[in-house]
Amino acid sequence: MKILVVDDEALIRSVVIEYAENEGYEVVEAENGLDAVEIVRNDPSIDLMILDIMMPKMDGYTAYEEIKKIRNLPTIMLSARGEEYDKLMGFQLGIDDYLTKPFSPKELVARIKAVMKRYLEKTEGDLFHYKGLKIDFKGRVVTIDEEEVKLTPKEYELLTYFVTNPNIALSREQLLNQIWGYDFFGDDRTIDTHVKMLRNNLGPYRDLIVTVRSMGYKFEIKEK
């Protein structure tokens, strides 16, 4: 597995590289977002990106948006700022995880493994079909009335978890643990934000995601 580490601080890059290589990962590095975009464009073998926010030439947010135009790359974002706005901004863009500096390299390695595990796991069955809503699990493609719906990685994971657990009340804590793969260091508003974005993208099928008061959500499948 190959990891791209993008950070303007050489010390941060060296620490991440050391711990990642000790786990058997191949690592390439970039010191700004502009270089990261070029590396991803020219190297299709990269499996995951660790991306800082505040960098010269091109910041992490902009770099991530440019890279999404090239390919869907699992991403863990780093930032010296721990403000909720920064986290929500990253999740709204579609990142998979967020870690605030200073961080434990061992924790970062654990998060790398968790993110990759989610991407490598295959959902049983090939297709979900409800009226005009279709999900191709193998292709990770969602369509509504034959039109493809563009979802962020987290929105897709949330939707597939909902459809594979229909008519079951799911707590916010359960959703956080299942989608992020470990106890999330944040609050329930992260789930609410992602559900809101997912509902917007589902359009006429937004009402399939029902709010369970004081608990969480339920994907309610009615008779066709």
List Cα–Cα distances, 175 to 97, 160, 162, 180, in angstroms: 15, 12, 9, 8
> What percent of the chain is modeled with pLDDT above 90?
34
Q: How does pLDDT run across 88-137, given as a tens digit for each residue?
A: 788 888 888 888 888 888 888 888 888 877 665 544 457 888 888 989 88
- Asked which of 120, 147, 175 is the last residue of a domain, the reply is 120
Count of domains in the chain?
2
Residue 60 lies in a domain: yes
Q: How does pLDDT run across 40-50, given as a tens digit for each residue?
A: 988 878 889 99
CATH at residue 145? 1.10.10.10
Q: Quick one: 73 and 138 in the same domain?
A: no
Q: Quick one: 90 and 132 in the same domain?
A: no
pTM, rounded to two decimals: 0.57
CATH at residue 110? 3.40.50.2300
Q: Quick one: 148 and 114 in the same domain?
A: no
Q: Quick one: 136 and 109 in the same domain?
A: no
- Asked which of 120, 155, 188 is the last residue of a domain, the reply is 120
Least-confidence region, from 16-25, 112-121, 150-159: 112-121
Q: What is the pLDDT of residue 122?
A: 43
Residue 224 lies in a domain: no
Domain of residue 211 covers 127-219
Q: What is the pLDDT of residue 186?
A: 55
